[in-house]
Amino acid sequence: MKIAIYPGSFDPITKGHLNIIERAASIFDRLIVCVMVNAEKQPMFSRAERENMIRRVTSHLQNVEVDASDELLAEYARRKGGCVIVKGLRAVSDFEHEFQMALINRNINPQLDTMFLTAEHDYMYLSSSVVRELGTYPVSLDPYVPAEIIDEVTARIHSVHERRIQDGKQH
């Protein structure tokens, strides 16, 4: 059985992420979507909330499992029996960093390969940070966020934005 792992912060999961998940799920016997801890990021959603959102938007994919980890990706893959890390690429600028990480992961776990899937053209510009930024303005997030979670994402973005405005007024 070929097991692939699609890691990310998914804060929140976007239609671009979902596109990569659906495509990878059609290639591998099992795909584990793993919410990873990124020390450089302050997430808007808790790890449990992100896992829950991913489960909801991938419920139609029988071979997709959702998990979370704060360990090294290469070690996580070894523990889960993963043979491939799936990474989505939006632009050439993504490749340099992702290629470096692929080499490090392979060095730590020589049985681990990395497969790069390029984003569909509709999602080449899309990231979770773009969604969080757009959500602070009165625009629809329908083109960017799966329908199952759009109300939750919009409400959280507005709540965080309002809190930041209030904090700014207090200084």
Would 138 be classed as within a structural domain? no
**Residue 169, pLDDT score:** 63
Domain assignment of residue 43, given as a range: 3-124
**Residue 119, pLDDT score:** 87
Would 160 be classed as within a structural domain? no
Would 56 be classed as within a structural domain? yes
Would 154 be classed as within a structural domain? no
Q: Residue ranges of the chain with pLDDT lower than 50? A: none
Would 107 be classed as within a structural domain? yes
Would 151 be classed as within a structural domain? no
Q: Indicate which residues carry an active-site annotation.
A: 17, 41, 90, 128
**Residue 69, pLDDT score:** 96
In whole angstroms, what is the distance from residue 11 CA to residue 99 CA?
22
CATH number at residue 50: 3.40.50.620
**Residue 41, pLDDT score:** 77
**Residue 82, pLDDT score:** 97
- Our count of domains for the chain comes to 1
**Residue 117, pLDDT score:** 95
**Residue 170, pLDDT score:** 57
**Residue 126, pLDDT score:** 92
Distances (CA, A) of 109 to 19, 33, 65, 70, 170: 27, 19, 22, 17, 50
Residues 13/69, Cβ–Cβ less than 8 Å:
no
Phi, psi of 41 (to 5 degrees): -120, 145
In whole angstroms, what is the distance from residue 58 CA to residue 119 CA?
18
